[in-house]
Amino acid sequence: MKKPISPCFLILFLLSFMFCESQENKKPEIIETPKHFKILDEKEGDLDKDGVFEKVIVYDTEKETDMGTERQIYIYKKNHNKWELWKKSVGAILPSQHGGMLGDPFQGISIERNCIVINHSGGARQKWHYTHRFRYQNNSFQLIGATVNFGSPCDNFYNFDYNLSNGKINYKKETSDCINKSSKIEKKEITRKLKTLPTMANFYPGNNKFFFPNSETIIYY
């Protein structure tokens, strides 16, 4: 003779089922990759300081340009546990062949202190590296920091660090003479605030110029 099922067991079973069901419902919706796009990198982090993580995805679009395939940044927010496209940028990630002899210039993204940080590098004998930092403010992602390193062995090497939020610039130029085994370092610290900060929506790395006062030096960031 079969024993009757305990009411306590039934209650526990139902509660367990309801818990599993609620956990399933809490899983965020999978983001569908746009047709012909390929994911290059993705990160999650709180970008607008609301305590909820956003998701940043860098796509290769397979759209051909003069410098290889175009890249785009999509930023998603959660709405009722579903991912929705919030912001989009074309240009902040360099095309696939912009790195010259070193190939693809895109080195990856990260989210640090509520900012999107983008790294690129490239070149041949003269190598270069860009780091750009974008923070969400004034209803857009604005450039708040740019660091540029470029140069060649046994020649000149430049470091340019620009805090666009407060306008402070640290610049260093190191000249190396490998034959005579000597080097010379030149440093500058100046302040240059912009009236309007560049936004990620229309930003292109390396297309922005900084002119040093009383100097022929130009830095492209």
> What's the 3-state SS for 5-54?
CCHHHHHHHHHHHHHHHHHHHHCCCCCCCCCCCEEEEEEEECCCCCCCCE
Q: Is the separation of the CB atoms in 80 and 27 below 8 Å? A: no
Question: In the structure, what pLDDT confidence band is assigned to residue 214 with cuts at 50, 70 and 90?
Answer: confident
Find the range with the poorest average confidence among 8-22, 146-160, 196-210: 8-22
Model confidence over 28-63: pLDDT tens digits? Answer: 578 999 999 999 999 999 999 999 999 999 999 999
- According to the model, what pLDDT value does residue 27 have? 57
At 201 the three-state DSSP class reads helix
In terms of C-beta density within 10 A (0-12 exposed, 13-18 middle, 19 or more buried), how is residue 6 classed?
exposed
Q: How far apart are alpha carbons 1 and 44 in whole angstroms?
A: 57
For the cut 60, the answer to whether the pLDDT of residue 71 exceeds it is yes
Instruction: Return d(Cα 203, Cα 93) in angstroms, integer.
Output: 9
Q: Is 202 helix (H, G, I), strand (E, B) or coil?
A: helix
What is residue 181's predicted lDDT score, i.e. its pLDDT? Answer: 85
Separation between Cα atoms, residue 24 and residue 213, nearest integer Å: 60
Which one is predicted more confidently, 26 or 135?
A: 135
Please tell me the pTM assigned to this model.
Answer: 0.85
Structure tokens of 212? Answer: 């040093």
- pLDDT, average across residues 20-27: 47
pLDDT of residue 6: 56
Residues 132-156 have a mean pLDDT of 96
**Closest listed residue to residue 137, CA positions, set 47, 51, 221, 205:** 47
